[in-house]
Structure 1
Amino acid sequence: MPDVVLVAADGRRLIVEVLVTHACDAEKIAKIRAGAVSAIEVDLSAYRTQGTEAAVRNALLRTAPRTWLFNPAVDEAETSLKATIAAERKAAAEARQRAARRAALALRAAEPRLTPALQAERQSVLALGLQDLVGAPPASDDGFVVPSNLWRAVLINRLVLRRAPTRHGMLWPIEPDEALSALKDCLAPGVLGGVNRPTPAAMKAALPGFVPPQDSLDTFLETLKAYGLLLETKHGLLVNDRAREVLLAREAALKAANQRWRQTETLLDGLFETTGAPMETPAFSLTAWRASVPGFNRSLTAIIEEGGPEWSGLVRSLDAVQSMISGGAPCDSLMGLPFEPSLQEAIRQADLIAAQEALAIEAAERAAADQRVSRLRSRAEVVPGLEVEAWLNRQGKGTPLTPLDAARQGEAMLGVAFRSLDRIAEEFADAARRDALAAECLAVLETAAEKCFDEDRRRLFLRGHRPELGMKSPQEFCRDHASLKVLLSLLPSKRGAR
């Protein structure tokens, strides 16, 4: 039974339940609802053991907390509100679905955007032999503005080959959004985010068959893992260093081979352009020459691709031909190239230059010989008492060469002539010293003879030949201090003694 039932003048009833110790349980509330009579619960638990009658009355009528147990109007309002909220939610969901569909259709219809830079990245990856990896048919190209075989190649190039290591040489794990961000210039506008953009899941739900770029990318990342370029580790998705090193080494080899191709083709084109010789004639075919290069017995492609000493030798030979055509010396071999007229002209020019050089050398040798003769003559002219011309033209002992002949032969023989002249000069100097000593000693002898003889006897003493002097006169015998001493001993001790 309810605690209190109030009846309004119009017959409406209100049940009042007073909470003192226990609130109405669910069963009682269910019975109240079943009776369809509004009910309210007033909480007077605070006045269970205290409070005056006036205070309790005031609390019951005005101040005590109260709660609707059942009110048909509230239920109707709640039901109406829930229906309104449900309708609004449905309308919002439908609007989001339409927006997601529009966004998905926009991504699918994005304008293609191919650039030479992207094409170059693709070609560099394809050159590494990864055509099968990047060229598999795609499940979808939704959200991309380039074909799948292009963005896949670009991803390999940027995420694997060009991924910058740390300063310690390590590669950081790949972040979840890093791969998608790496393809920014391959994606339609809006893929990488925006205000209130529909999620990939919403676009998939709104447009059956639509594949978000992230899904396509995740599928390709799985392919890269299966291929061995990426590794799934406890630290996340990593680039396989060994596979990367193999690809980088292959790339370096391709770059080197391309450089060799460019250098070789530039040399060949320059040869034919300079000479004006045709590349294909009945007598010569550059195509056949490329198939088997004379002197190498291998194709030009094989020589260039392998590189090494053979290619270096080929380039040196082509350089020699180019140098010859440009006016240099004749080359050792034309390697079967049709430049025989250039070779003959180079030989003719070389012979002409050799003849001119021979004449120049001969003239230089004559001038040098004349200079050596002049030097020898100048030195001979300062030797006192030497008859210069007679000595210059007199054959030496044991040789038919004259000093002039020796000087003309070269510096070594000029040195021999100089040494001979030095010996003659020394002999002349010795003779002059001996003559001076003899004159000095003779003057001493004459002075001593004047003291011992009169003029006639002195003259007879000095000029007379004496047996003890080997039949020489004192004048002839007197050559040095020793001979002077002998001669002085022959003079008498006093004048007129003999």
Structure 2
Amino acid sequence: MADIDRHHPTALPRPLRLQCMAGKLVQPVGQGLLKVPFARCYDGLARHVSTVLSVQQGPFHCLDCGEVLTLRNPINKRRHFAHRPDSVCTGETALHRYAKELLVTAKTLTLPALVLTEGRVRQPVFAAGTYSFEAVLPEHKIGTFQPDALVRYLDFDLAVEFLVHHAVDDEKRAKVSAHDISMVEIDLSGLKAGQMNGTELDDAILHSSPRQWIHHRKCAAAMRKLSAAVAKAQLDRGARLKGHILRKRSATAPEGWRDEAMKAVRRTGLEALIDLEVEGGHWFAVPDKVWQAEALFEHVIKPSEQYSPGGKKLEIKGAYPTYHDLSSKLPDWMVRQDLGDYPPKSLAEAGFDKKSYGSPHGAVWNYLAVLTTGNGTVLWSREDAYFYIQPRLQDLLQRRVDLPERVKLLLVAGGVKDTEAGYRRWGTTYRSGNLSPFQLVEAGGDGYHDLIARIAQLEAMVSGSVLSVVDDLCGLPLEPIRVRNQAAMAVIETKRKIALDNAASERQRSIRVQAEQMLAADAKAWLGQQIAGTKINHLEYAREGDAALFELELKLGREGDERRKQIAAKRHVAHLRDQLKEAAKRAFPSERMAELFLNSGHPRLQGGRPIDRCGNRQDLAYITSLMTKKR
């Protein structure tokens, strides 16, 4: 208690204590023969049964109801005082009364410490210890409330409340606060007085039972000091955290690291787009221009140089698989690992909120957002909610890298060793439509596309995969390659013509052989026949190609089939006539008469000769029936 801490209890000896005079019940309240461990003796003092030596110290009275008690000394049981059988005393206030009387007699009390805390800041109000008092006034009324006791030390007062059944309620707390008097509450509700001896019970009431401050008159001043200390601690913490967050760092690149990003930014002339003021740059362990160059290279320059602009917008996104994290394309060593997910309160102390503190992704997002403001680098799609590269810039960057790479390869093919110098010389001296290649790269449009189309023809000529000759060398030293290709093409053409002539001759030989096989003696006449509507015969027509040969083969097949049919028909007729001759020999007595029948006109055949009229088996049978039968 601040009222009396000018004389710390350690400086005062603990006074002698009286024997215990209070306790709790050992059986349920309201039952007959209520047993209690203490009573008021003949001299008006309350004593614990363990300190009462004989009945001569009576009569004994209950501290609660005032009824006469009987001292009992049962065998093998704890001594106690007992009410009469007809008593209705509950003993509820006995311990409460005893505690107040003990405090009046002892004039000493152990008080708990009172320390106000907020976070890690502590403000002491009162030091814990055992205190001795000048006076103790039981049930002393203060205004509209009456504490169990009021202890005084010099001119300072302390109200004491003993909790047995009812704790200090909100109404009494309000009254205590209104009078601004210090009050402590001692909790005796957990004591088992009937199982304790006098010394133990006194010590529990005065010193060891739980106790708490209801109010302390110096709390308000201590709270002001605490608030000031908390505010200062917050400022200090905020300053430290802010210093940590905004600490400038210069991380060391891993061994073997190649800073392609900064070279690409300089090569493309985009230096003005880095080292910009961007919210969230504290997330990187390298200067702003370094991580911004990396972000510009990964998200804008590299994709622009790899892909020609098309109908679809080139979306800016993170590396696989974290497409949503724009910082994932930056090297891990550039991103700070010493920043955490600080709570909003800590960030506020440091002058940040969640948005301004952000994240590595948020910092890159903010950087791209800055690039959307008027420089034509990056565009934001509100509909799709993503950034994409300005198509004109993408086209320009692609031209800036595409033409040099392609021309330098052509210079290498032309025998130029210093291709960089060769390209610069060519880019400034050569003219295409009154513009240099460098000017065409920056301007773009039809003039540039025309130059690229002619460069593509030269690439095809140089590659040799398909021999070609280009007359327009675009000012590049490719004449030896053109001459080489011309010579190679001449040789190829000669070989081609020979091959074509050999193939034509082979087709002629093939059709001749097939004609002789199918038409025999008629082959020569057939090969000499002219194609309808032309002066070219079959043999010459076969030279014109495989289609012509195929056409002749089909035609030859048809005529060969017809010839075979005619030959077969002739053979059949000859066979029938042989059968007719044999039949005539058998029908006539002599061969001469048989020959005369066969070769003479017959009236039944309209004057025709039988041998000539025998064209099928019906004819054979009919003519045979005309022959004279042998007798």
Please report the TM-score for the alignment, with normalisation by the length of structure 1: 0.50
In structure 1, C-alpha distance between the alignment counterparts of 2:385 and 2:440, rounded to whole Å: 23
Q: Shift in Å at residue 336 of structure 1?
A: 1.8
Of 483, 491, 503 in structure 2, the residue corresponding to residue 364 of structure 1 is 503
Aligned position for 2:459: 322
Contact 1:111/1:145 (8 A) holds in 2: yes
Of 462, 474, 483 in structure 1, the residue corresponding to residue 597 of structure 2 is 462
**Is 1:425 matched up with 2:425?**
no
Contact 2:601/2:610 (8 A) holds in 1: no
The one-letter code matched in structure 2 to 1:458 is: M
Aligned position for 2:475: 337
- The SS at the match of 1:248 is strand
Of 399, 422, 428 in structure 2, the residue corresponding to residue 288 of structure 1 is 428
Query: Quick one: structure 1 residues 245 and 357, their matched pair in 2 at CA, closer, same or farther if it must change by over 3 Å?
Result: same
Query: Quick one: structure 1 residues 154 and 68, their matched pair in 2 at CA, closer, same or farther if it must change by over 3 Å?
Result: farther
Contact 2:136/2:152 (8 A) holds in 1: yes
Aligned position for 2:552: 413
- Structure 2: unaligned runs, 5 residues or longer: 1-132, 142-147, 157-220, 300-315, 372-378
In structure 1, C-alpha distance between the alignment counterparts of 2:347 and 2:604, rounded to whole Å: 145
In structure 1, C-alpha distance between the alignment counterparts of 2:272 and 2:621, rounded to whole Å: 119
- The SS at the match of 2:472 is coil
Aligned position for 1:52: none
In structure 1, C-alpha distance between the alignment counterparts of 2:543 and 2:333, rounded to whole Å: 86
**Is 1:479 matched up with 2:608?**
no
Of 483, 502, 524 in structure 2, the residue corresponding to residue 393 of structure 1 is 524
Query: Quick one: structure 1 residues 365 and 302, their matched pair in 2 at CA, closer, same or farther if it must change by over 3 Å?
Result: same
- The SS at the match of 1:337 is coil
Alignment of structure 1 residues 7-406 onto 2, 5 Å: 42-45=136-139, 65-70=150-155, 112-113=250-251, 120=261, 131=272, 135=276, 146-147=286-287, 242=381, 248-250=387-389, 254=393, 257-277=396-416, 285-288=425-428, 292-293=431-432, 300=437, 304=441, 314-327=451-464, 328-332=466-470, 334=472, 336-338=474-476, 339-380=478-519, 388=520, 390-394=521-525, 399=530
Q: Shift in Å at residue 329 of structure 1?
A: 1.8
The one-letter code matched in structure 2 to 1:68 is: Y
Identity fraction in percent: 13
In structure 2, C-alpha distance between the alignment counterparts of 1:199 and 1:484, rounded to whole Å: 127
Contact 2:250/2:285 (8 A) holds in 1: yes
In structure 2, C-alpha distance between the alignment counterparts of 1:405 and 1:148, rounded to whole Å: 83
Contact 2:136/2:149 (8 A) holds in 1: yes
Q: Shift in Å at residue 347 of structure 1?
A: 1.8
In structure 2, C-alpha distance between the alignment counterparts of 1:432 and 1:261, rounded to whole Å: 87
Contact 2:461/2:482 (8 A) holds in 1: yes
The one-letter code matched in structure 1 to 2:588 is: A
Contact 1:376/1:407 (8 A) holds in 2: no
Contact 2:249/2:286 (8 A) holds in 1: no
What per-residue deviation string (whole Å, max 9, x for no partner) do you get for residues 32-54 of structure 1? Answer: xxxxxxx966425469xxxxxxx
What per-residue deviation string (whole Å, max 9, x for no partner) do you get for residues 349-400 of structure 1? Answer: 11211111111222233233323333333344xxxxxxx3x32223579649
Aligned residues: 372
What per-residue deviation string (whole Å, max 9, x for no partner) do you get for residues 15-72 of structure 1? Answer: xxxxxxxxxxxxxxxxxxxxxxxx966425469xxxxxxxxxxxxxxx975312449x
Q: Shift in Å at residue 342 of structure 1?
A: 1.8
Contact 2:396/2:442 (8 A) holds in 1: yes
Q: Shift in Å at residue 323 of structure 1?
A: 2.7
Of 445, 462, 465 in structure 1, the residue corresponding to residue 584 of structure 2 is 445
Contact 1:465/1:473 (8 A) holds in 2: yes
Bigger shift: residues 432-441 or 107-116:
107-116
Aligned position for 1:237: none
Contact 2:597/2:610 (8 A) holds in 1: yes
In structure 2, C-alpha distance between the alignment counterparts of 1:483 and 1:370, rounded to whole Å: 46
The one-letter code matched in structure 1 to 2:428 is: A
In structure 2, C-alpha distance between the alignment counterparts of 1:186 and 1:464, rounded to whole Å: 122
Contact 1:438/1:478 (8 A) holds in 2: no
In structure 2, C-alpha distance between the alignment counterparts of 1:425 and 1:330, rounded to whole Å: 53
Aligned position for 1:23: none
Contact 1:325/1:342 (8 A) holds in 2: yes
In structure 2, C-alpha distance between the alignment counterparts of 1:402 and 1:132, rounded to whole Å: 79
Query: Quick one: structure 1 residues 474 and 331, their matched pair in 2 at CA, closer, same or farther if it must change by over 3 Å?
Result: closer
In structure 2, C-alpha distance between the alignment counterparts of 1:403 and 1:118, rounded to whole Å: 76
- The SS at the match of 2:485 is helix
Contact 2:137/2:150 (8 A) holds in 1: yes
The one-letter code matched in structure 2 to 1:286 is: W
The one-letter code matched in structure 2 to 1:440 is: Q
Contact 2:508/2:542 (8 A) holds in 1: yes
Structure having the larger proportion of residues in helix:
1
The one-letter code matched in structure 2 to 1:374 is: V
- Structure 1: unaligned runs, 5 residues or longer: 1-38, 48-62, 72-81, 173-177, 203-211, 231-239, 381-387
Contact 2:512/2:539 (8 A) holds in 1: yes
- The SS at the match of 1:334 is coil
Query: Quick one: structure 1 residues 277 and 379, their matched pair in 2 at CA, closer, same or farther if it must change by over 3 Å?
Result: same
- The SS at the match of 1:271 is helix
Contact 2:268/2:397 (8 A) holds in 1: no
What per-residue deviation string (whole Å, max 9, x for no partner) do you get for residues 424-481 of structure 1? Answer: 222221111111122222322332223xxxx387257437755859998956445245
The one-letter code matched in structure 1 to 2:562 is: R
Query: Quick one: structure 1 residues 468 and 121, their matched pair in 2 at CA, closer, same or farther if it must change by over 3 Å?
Result: same
The one-letter code matched in structure 1 to 2:467 is: A
